[in-house]
Amino acid sequence: MAHDPASLSDAGRDLLLGSACVGCARPGRVLCGSCAVSLPRRGRVSWPSPTPTGLALPFAAGAYDGLLKALVNAHKEHGVLALAAPLGRVLGDVVHDLLGALDAGREAGTVLLVPVPSRGAVVRRRGHDPLLRVTRAAAVRLRRTGVDATVRRLLVPAGRVLDQTALDAGQRAANLSGSMRARRPCAADRRGRVLVVDDVLTTGSTAREAQRALEAAGVTVCGVATVAATRRRGPDGTRGSLPFSEPGH
Ligand SMILES: [Zn+2]
189's enclosing H/E stretch is: helix 187-191
Mean residue pLDDT of the chain comes to: 85
> From the CA of 180, how far away is ligand 1's center (Å)?
37
> From the CA of 80, how far away is ligand 1's center (Å)?
15
> From the CA of 142, how far away is ligand 1's center (Å)?
25
> From the CA of 125, how far away is ligand 1's center (Å)?
28
> From the CA of 35, how far away is ligand 1's center (Å)?
4
Overall average pLDDT of the 86-109 stretch: 88
Instruction: Identify the sign of the CA torsion 182, 227, 12, 125.
Output: positive
Q: In this model, does residue 239 exceed pLDDT 50?
A: no
> From the CA of 12, how far away is ligand 1's center (Å)?
21
Determine phi and psi for 139, rounding to 5 degrees.
-65, -40
Q: Greatest CA separation found in the chain?
A: 56
> From the CA of 159, how far away is ligand 1's center (Å)?
41
Tell me 24's DSSP state.
T
* Residue 246: predicted pLDDT: 40
Which residues crowd ion ligand 1, with CB under 5 Å? 21, 23-24, 26, 32, 35
Contacts of 29 (CB under 8 A, 6+ apart): 18, 21, 82
pLDDT in tens, 222-235: 999 999 999 865 44
Determine phi and psi for 23, rounding to 5 degrees.
-85, -45
> From the CA of 128, how far away is ligand 1's center (Å)?
24
> From the CA of 223, how far away is ligand 1's center (Å)?
32
Strand 149-151 versus strand 155-157 pairing type: unpaired
> From the CA of 202, how far away is ligand 1's center (Å)?
26
Supply the pTM of this predicted model.
0.83
Percent of the chain with pLDDT over 90: 63
